Structure 1
Amino acid sequence: MSLGLLYPPTCIACQAATGEPHGLCATCWAGMRLIERPFCERLGIPFQVDLGQPLLSPAAIADPPVFQRARAVAEYDGTASLLVHRLKYNDRLEFARGLGVMMARAGSELLSHAEVIVPVPLHRWRLWRRRFNQAMALARVVSEESQVPCDPFLLARVKRTRRQVGLTKSQRQENLQGAFRVPDEAKARLKGKRVLLIDDVLTTGATANAASRALLRGGAASVDILAFARVGQEL
């Protein structure tokens, strides 16, 4: 007897029956606010009105990010925030499969140009406390789905920063100064590569900018960002 008969697939959010493993039921899927065009081509923030052509948001023009482009599956609320929270804080590592598959689909445009996937690293003390890096778990799935190689050792978190939750954008930027570095032994592997940086949530972009700056200084040709969810209002 197959495992599918013994253990039928269930929704990763609410445990209701589903047709495929590692997926969502119709109700939980409806609770996801997917990010699709039209959106800012640089920041990936959705526009309320489709003007029929690729556009940059005022924020991207006034304060251009260090990275080239950012994309995410959904806005960080409802089902999306529930899934991220369970993956990150409830040790539900099996959630990475479903979230990573969705990320690979949402980031297909970025993946078609990427030469290497790099997860946003955790500092060794935070990794020891949490026991796993959720960005690494997601990056592995995205790599498997896209066949773009993943190299988690191209970027290191060398500064033990305080938690970003509750900090303003400027406080986050200050908190992350000098937090990331490309190890000397990794620079030859990174040189000239188009990098896709993976994280679970994109908030103000402070972490993405700090990590991208370190990768570019370490020799990367360009950096794009792919997250499962992003915090930000519609434009």
Structure 2
Amino acid sequence: MQSALRLIFPPQCISCGVLVESEFALCGSCWRDTHFISGLVCDTCGVPLPGEDEDVQCDDCMTMARPWTRGRAAVLYQDNARRLILSLKHGDRTELARPMATWLSRAVQPILRPDMMVAPVPLHRTRLLRRRYNQAALLAAAVAKDAGLEYCPDLLLRKKRTQIQEGMGVDARFANIAGALQAHPKRREICAGRHVLLVDDVMTSGATLAAGAEACRAAGARDVSVLVLARVAKDM
């Protein structure tokens, strides 16, 4: 049956649509245009770094206090990765969460802990109603399932609708998100004493993740780590 379906509907590149050998894969050209993060990275935010040292931080994480301990990212937010993420967020291409979760599961391995509880960065209810799904929740659920970790989709709430942060500077981003996230009143008890792995699609300044991590810690989380699909990085 599966072979027959492959003959009728052969696998296509998730980006450009050309035929590929396996489901949910990228063709060679699109793979080259998708910048997967590997090698030395900042242990706090996952941005790639030059050199071969271990347990290092980028300049931003050395100068800016982060309310989480460790972080990782799967790809750089540019070129084909950016196009795919925008298709997931705004193009109803929820099937992209499946291959993207595989990329995330690979990226998170160095910081994975068996006692972690996975939670997504939430959308405001009005934005969720319009979009119909939270892309961060799709990714977080798949990562939790793959790692065999507990998943809490509504650990955090976005209690106020914030402005779209694209184009904002660092200070404006932190001001925009200030006070917007909080632990769900009915989930505070399960958060207490736990190590939370907070998942989002893109990290730019880290303002949203910082707000989420602070909300987790205010609810009694013992520790917080972060995982993002894509990291906006400065030119290296």
Shorter-chain TM-score: what band? over 0.9
Residues 141, 153 of structure 2: 8 Å contact kept: no
Aligned pairs for 1:33-182 within 5 A:
33-48=35-50, 50-182=51-183
CA deviations over 1:143-194 (Å, ceiling 9, x no partner): 2211112101211110111111111111111111110111222111111111
Contact 1:41/1:55 (8 A) holds in 2: yes
TM-score computed with the length of structure 2 as normaliser: 0.94
Cα deviation for residue 57 of structure 1 reads: 2.2
Partner of residue 218, structure 1:
219
**What are the superposed Cα offsets for residues 113-161 of structure 1, whole Å, 9 maximum, x if unpaired?**
5521101100000101111110011111112211112101211110111
| 2:180 and 2:211 in contact (8 A); partners too | yes
SS at 1:95 equivalent? helix
Aligned-partner residue type, residue 14 of structure 2: I
| TM-score normalized by the length of structure 1 | 0.95
Separation in structure 2 between the aligned mates of residue 112 and residue 16 of structure 1, nearest angstrom? 38
Distance 2:220 2:88 in 1: 32
Distance of 2:227 and 2:54 partners within structure 1: 22
Which amino acid is the alignment partner of residue 143 of structure 2? V
Mapped partners of 1:234, 1:114: distance in 2: 36
Amino acid at match of 2:22: E
Quick one: distance in 2 between partners of 1:64 and 1:43?
Answer: 12
The one-letter code sitting in structure 1 at the alignment partner of 2:192 is K
For 1:209 and 1:227, locate their aligned partners in 2 and report how far apart those are by CA, in whole Å: 13
Give structure 2 stretches of 5+ with no counterpart: none
Amino acid at match of 2:32: A
Choose from 6, 9, 29 the match for 1:7. Answer: 9
Q: For this pair of structures, how many residues does the alignment match?
A: 234
CA distance in 2, matches of 1:52, 1:21: 37
- Of 190-199 and 57-66, deviating more is 57-66
Distance 1:142 1:214 in 2: 21
